[in-house]
Every structure is written in structure tokens, then in C-alpha cells.
Copies of this chain bind each other. A is one copy, B any other.
Amino acid sequence: MAATSILPGVQTAVEVLTARFGAQLSTSAAVLEQHGTDESWHPPVLPDVVVFAESTQDVADAVRICAAHRLPVVAFGAGTSLEGHIAALRGGLSLDLSRMNALVELNVADLDVTVQAGMTRLALNDRLKRHGLFFPVDPGADASLGGMASTRASGTNAVRYGTMRENVLSLTVVLADGRVIRTGGRARKSSAGYDLTRLFVGAEGTLGIVTEVTLRLQGLPEAVSAATCAFPSVTDAVEAVIEVIQSGTPVARAELLDETQIRACNAYSGLGLPELPHLFFEFHGTPASVQEQAEYVATIAASHGAAGFEWATAAEDRTRLWKARHDAYYAGLALRPGAKGWATDVCVPISRLAECLGQTKVDLDASPLISAVVGHVGDGNFHVLFLLDPGDLTQQEEAARLNVRMVRRALTMGGTCSGEHGIGYGKKDLLIEEHGEAIEVMRLLKTALDPDNILNPGKVVDI
């Protein structure tokens, strides 16, 4: 599956990179294969060369060399992207940031931290725990924080704490010509000029390469409680969540798993739940407020037909529950051993969620494909995982058909073609359908910041 680089002068560029990076550089087949492969359904597309950066200076030097030789450069974190974000579509350099995994500066009093882009979210939370703090954004995978910033990631806590959009305070970014900038300071708010931080959050490495991330942190809540309950249908579950959100209850997590996903999690994580659509809730606050929230939500859920309310009061039960939820993707894959997963997501205004999800379930039930649904339904965001036989083009076409129908349905409802996975090169056409004329502004930005199109070319927008 290796890509044959179409660019002239690659050899010269690799020689210059080798002279600068020595043992930090690799062209071994295994390393190239790993760096051309993410967790998506897209086939691997390999780079010509990999450099393991150890500092912002390394990144700046590598980008400067690439710029001089017009060599594409693709940033690589944990390799957990879901739309081919790290595929080296035009060959070139994969710049691996995983060794840049240091905690640069923790400000406990200000509830902020600066980390290098390669630190993962679990490693960060491990460092924060002793200070009574946590970082709430939690995609399923143990992604790198630079990668999470670059895909505008979110997860189960977004309904309460927001996504990377709200939780990144500022960034260190290497520009397409190798210059290094800071996008902001540590103040909680600022009206000082254009919002450079949000320009790079979600840009998927196409406008610059994120090397350090300053994040807002949260205090670990004094009290936490979690609960699961089963519903007669996905629609009943969604309607319960809508009522909870509209009531203003500050629920910390509200996750939907359909009957297929429950079966998968039972098998993979030993949850032992009835094979029905479920909601998983979590509440954060003082002991009194947690109890107040939980009781209120239980009443609403019951009025929508919920049964089998199970409280996870012990910390280890909660850990097992949320570990199972974070492993939902891997559990889904295990439903069909040897299968390739195709994960997609949309997000709609919450008033349209029951309708959007209901119609999508009808589509999925009518298809011969095996699929599972999970959702951060408190945000109006849900995921479908298709399980495909590798190499079966008919199945792949069927997944593509269902995916396009689901996205177009979401767009007609005021929604978006991706709530948290991003565009990569899998949703570029759908991005155009979503944004219309505004896509031209995205192209203007890309051209202004990366005139030679060396930064992750072929992703997000084509120029």
C-alpha cells in the first residue's frame, strides 16, 4: 500500500533531513507503515520519511527544510485519527511528535497547564490527579493533546465542560515557513486581536503544526455519581436526554449506546447489561447537588420508560463503566473478528436528534451491514460504526451510501457533517455541501498561511 511519492527532489530533501536529524530519522518499512496508518477505514498511505521531533526547534527546522524542498509534511501524534488525517497523500515527511510528551508548566492556582503536543490525555490526567485536577476532554482513544487540538476533539464530558474549542487557552505553532508563534497568553479571556488560537484548533495540521498546548483544567469534583438505565427504544432514550438538557441540569455525561453496542460492550468489557438501548449518566458537584441532579434525572428517565436504573456509586464501578464506554469502538470491532471499522459521526441541534437518529436507525436496520450506534447525545452528537470485511468493495460502497445519507439528513436539520472526528480526506466533499460559499474563505486562509501547500496537503480543503 506504499505511496510512490510524486514529487521531484524528495531524495535531496531526505538527505538534508538526515544530515540534520541523524538517528531521529527513519525510512524503515515498518516505521513508514505505522506512520501511514490511522484507526480509520481509509487504506494506509505511507510517507517517504519519518522524523521523531524532540523539541519545537526540531519541528521548526524540519518544516523549514520541507519548505525549501516543497516536501509535504504531515504531523503525527498517536495515530488515532478516524478520517485519514495522517495519510501522506502526496508522500513527504511524517513528523512524529510523540517524543514531545513533557509537561511544560502546571499552574494549579490558575487551573491551566502547558504540555508538549505529544503528551496523551491519559498521561496528562495521571499527572494532574495528585493536584486534585483533571482535563475533561476525552475522545475514546488515548489521543495526543496536539492531535486533539488539531481535530477539535471532544468526548463524553463535552456536554458539561465543552470541547477542545473551549478548553484550549493558547498554542505554540510552527508556521509553513518554519517560524514559531504563540497564539495567546494564559488570561481566561481576551479581546486582543484575531483569535489565532481558534484558527489552528481544528485545522488538522493544514495551517501550522501545533507543538505546545495550553489547556484549561477543572478541579476534581467533590462528589461524583453515575448511573445506567435501559430504554424500550433509542428514541425514548434520546427524548429523555433532551428533557434533561432543556431543564438546565448540569449533567456531566449523557451517553447513548444502542442494543448492538451494549451487546458489544457486554462481550468486550463484561458489562452484563440487558441488550437494550441504554443511557449512561454521570453527575459532578457537591454531595447535595449530585444527589439533587441524580434524583431529578431518574424521574425524567422513568417518565420516558427507563427501567433497570443501576447506580455506580463505588469509584471502581464508575471506572469500569467509563472504561467500557471509551472502549466502545474496540468493542464494536470485536463483534466481527477481522472486520475493519468505519466510524463516522454527525451532530444536530438537540431538538432534531430523536428524528435524525430515528431515521438513521431505520436506514441501518434496512441495510445488510452490521453497525453499532453510540452517542454523546447531550450535545446532539452520535456515531455510527460500520463493520466491514476488509477488501469487500460492495460493503464499502454501502457504508459510503449510508454515511452520505446520514450526513445530508443532519445538514438539512441545521447540523454538521462531523461533531468531533473531523474532515481528513474522508469528508471533504461533505464539508463543501455543509459550508457552501464559506468554503472559499477556508481556501483563502489555507492559501494565505501555506501558499505552497506543504502542510498536510489534500486534507480539509483542496486549493
Contacts and interface: CB of A to CB of B under 8 A. Distances in A.
Interface of A: 107, 109-112, 151-154, 158, 162-163, 165-166, 175, 179-196, 198-199, 201-203, 207, 218-219, 221-222, 242, 246-248, 250, 285-286, 288-289, 292, 347-351, 379-381, 410-411, 414-423, 427, 431, 434-442, 444-445, 447-449, 460-461
Contacts of A444: 448-449
A259 B188 CA distance: 26
Number of this chain's copies in the assembly equals 2
B379 A189 contact: yes
Q: Is the interface of A mostly helix, strand, loop or mixed?
A: loop
Contact of A185 (B292, B415, B423): B415
A434 B207 CA distance: 22
Given A196-B441, A219-B248, 19 more contacts: A111-B246, A153-B191, A181-B437, A183-B438, A185-B349, A187-B347, A187-B414, A187-B415, A188-B379, A189-B381, A189-B416, A189-B419, A190-B347, A194-B202, A195-B199, A198-B198, A222-B248, A286-B289, A444-B448
Contacts of A423: 191-193
A180 B153 CA distance: 29
A145 B440 CA distance: 26
Nearest to A159: B188
A189 B158 CA distance: 9
A1 B223 CA distance: 62
A422 B191 contact: yes
Given A109-B246, A186-B414, A196-B442, A420 B191 contact: yes
15 contacts: A109-B351, A153-B191, A182-B435, A183-B438, A185-B434, A188-B349, A188-B381, A189-B381, A189-B419, A191-B420, A192-B418, A193-B202, A193-B435, A194-B460, A195-B201
Contacts of A442: 193-194, 196
B195 A202 contact: yes
Given A436-B181, A445-B448, A448-B444, A380 B187 contact: yes
Contacts of A165: 189, 195, 198
Contacts of A201: 195
**Interchain residue pairs A-B with the least CB separation, the first 5:** A198-B198, A448-B448, A190-B416, A109-B351, A219-B248
A431 B158 CA distance: 32
A274 to B, nearest CB: 30
B194 A203 contact: yes
